[in-house]
Structure 1
Amino acid sequence: MKKINALMVIGFLLFLFGLNVNAQSSTKLQPKSIAPYPLEITYFKTTNIIFPSAIVGVDRGSKDVLAQKAKGAANILQLKAARDSFPETNLTVITADGELNSFVINYTPKPSVLNVSMKERNSKNVIFPSPGSVNEADVTTYATHALYSQYKGRKIKHSKYGIRFGLNGIFIRDNLMYLRLTITNKSNISYDIDQLRFFIRDQKKAKRAASQEIEITPVHIQNEATKIAGQSSQTLVVAVPKFTIPDKKYFAIQIFEANGGRHLKLSVKNSTIIKASVFPTLESNVKYSH
């Protein structure tokens, strides 16, 4: 009888131990998921998303979604469908305050909402370094330095239909890179700029494999132009969050002509990116060439 009672006590203790282990395992930290925001877009109208801070990165799940930052507003993203009835896809937007915003995108001919404010949504589960920590006045000053600097890195250019588009300087300071671009119009027809876009893309797309494309959104453009008159040239500097390029990818810079077909593209390798010239501090003397 004593032997039976001892076995019962041992069994009861083992039962309590199992409950304790299960309780401890259930209290372990579990990864939190960020629920995506459902969004419908159309081919015929533009959807505007308003964020509480500047947009620093956009990743489209499909080329069926067209995305661009609104001119003059760093915190507004404009979306439109590239074609009708596309399959469900997604969109990820990172803002300068470290917020990750995830969207599930579907097509509809008549979206019920065209303007969405993300100011009330909170997704600080992921923290990113913020280029916005750099003072805006400093960014403008560094961009001006890049515009007139004597430094000329490796030139990458593309010419088509009398338009020459080139990258002739990459500079870095703190969390921002400054890209110096020159657009030359050798034709007699003015070149109206519709969009200037920046992407990290796959070098080659394997069969049946989805193409990964990450759009990089500028945080500042110095000496911005909307039109290049015939027989003239314009140099501008674009400030973007610093980055390097993973293997089997490249950095693409595209310029599109409004109501025209003179679209040009630059392909930049990682070996060029990592040779960016480092800016001296603002107190240092910087020589310019005019």
Structure 2
Amino acid sequence: MKNYTRKILQLLLVLAAGMLHAQNPQEQMYAGASYPLELTTAKTTHLVFPFDIISVDRGSENILAQKARGASNVLQVKAARSGFQQTSLTVITADKKLYGFTVDYVSSPLQTIIEFVAGPPAPAVHLQDPAYNQAELEEFSEKVLDQPKSVRGVRDKSIQSSFSLDGIFIHKDVIYYQLRVKNNSQLSYDIESVRFFVRDKKRVKRTAIQEHEISPLHTRSSSGLVLAESTQLFVYALPKFTTDKGQYLSIELREKNGGRHLNLDVSARKIVSAKAIAE
């Protein structure tokens, strides 16, 4: 009965899209509608929009959302935990349209690739302009990896594991973040993701989470696995940016198939105090 209801909802969505297309043949799905979205912890769902993604607003922290690396119009979404209560997701694209989703948890979603078509042909993935020299990013990431610790007091820990910011460096229009993961337990720490968000310091109770994700340009690490009783350094290269007085940079570290999730809050003062890298 549950699967039958889900199929009916999907059919209604398709019919609604068809009616809107009849009214406006240049746009097959009206961006102002609220669409049902099913997520699970075991699979990643890809939302492909006809224009670049400008903003993503999660109704709760039970949703993981990030832009696909190198693709500015593809959003990857996933459930952070199983069985969460219904919530929302809102996406704003470069054509100033708002896409609203009503999000539910299911163990096996009917669709994991959802495309929103603005007109024939179907939307292609928008590859970001390679404005940064990859060889240079690799070279300076390697240099930052060998730099001594220069930032103190930005650290988080959980269950015999810790996550710290050791340094912030800048070269041209790129900021390099030197991160350290220390595992004091007998269980290895398998990294699922490291993500960067600009967030507001204050949030009114019951309001949605306001955040802007920044995708790394380059990552330097020997492995995504921190073995038992070991330490590993990472360098993440991000495009140069600054935050407003009421904002901060949040760096989220998530453990794969585990609960030792760690988070760093980096103030604007520390970012603007980034050290230059000698060429």
Q: TM-score, normalised by structure 1?
A: 0.66
Q: Which structure 1 residue ranges, 5 or more long, are not aligned?
A: 1-34, 125-129, 285-290
Give the equivalent residue in structure 1 for 2:99.
103
Distance 1:84 1:236, change over 3 A: closer
1:213 deviates by 1.9
Alignment of 1:76-155 (within 5 A): 77-81=75-79, 86=86, 88-92=88-92, 103-107=99-103, 113-116=111-114, 121=123, 132-150=130-148, 152-155=150-153
Amino acid at match of 2:146: Y
Residue identity (%): 30
Alpha-carbon contact 2:53-2:91 (below 8 Å) kept: no
Aligned: 1:62 with 2:59: yes
Alpha-carbon contact 1:59-1:92 (below 8 Å) kept: yes
Distance in structure 2 (CA, Å) of the matches to 1:56 and 1:145: 33
Distance in structure 1 (CA, Å) of the matches to 2:203 and 2:272: 24
Root-mean-square deviation over aligned CA pairs: 3.6
Alpha-carbon contact 1:201-1:212 (below 8 Å) kept: yes
1:197 deviates by 1.9
Larger radius of gyration: 1
Alpha-carbon contact 1:47-1:115 (below 8 Å) kept: yes
Distance in structure 2 (CA, Å) of the matches to 1:210 and 1:227: 33
Is the deviation greater in 217-226 or in 110-119?
A: 110-119
Q: What is the SS of the residue equivalent to 2:143?
A: helix
Amino acid at match of 2:103: Y
Give the equivalent residue in structure 2 for 1:244.
242
Alpha-carbon contact 1:48-1:78 (below 8 Å) kept: yes
Alignment of 1:37-56 (within 5 A): 40-44=36-40, 46-49=44-47
The alignment of Structure 1 onto Structure 2 pairs a total of residues equal to 234
Q: TM-score, normalised by structure 2?
A: 0.68
Give the equivalent residue in structure 2 for 1:178.
176
Aligned: 1:226 with 2:190: no
Alpha-carbon contact 1:199-1:213 (below 8 Å) kept: yes
1:199 deviates by 1.6
1:163 deviates by 0.9
Alignment of 1:170-209 (within 5 A): 170-209=168-207
Amino acid at match of 2:223: A
Amino acid at match of 1:197: R
Distance in structure 2 (CA, Å) of the matches to 1:232 and 1:37: 50
1:92 deviates by 3.9
Amino acid at match of 1:105: F
Give the equivalent residue in structure 2 for 1:161.
159
Give the equivalent residue in structure 2 for 1:269.
267
1:181 deviates by 0.3
1:90 deviates by 1.0
Distance in structure 2 (CA, Å) of the matches to 1:59 and 1:199: 11
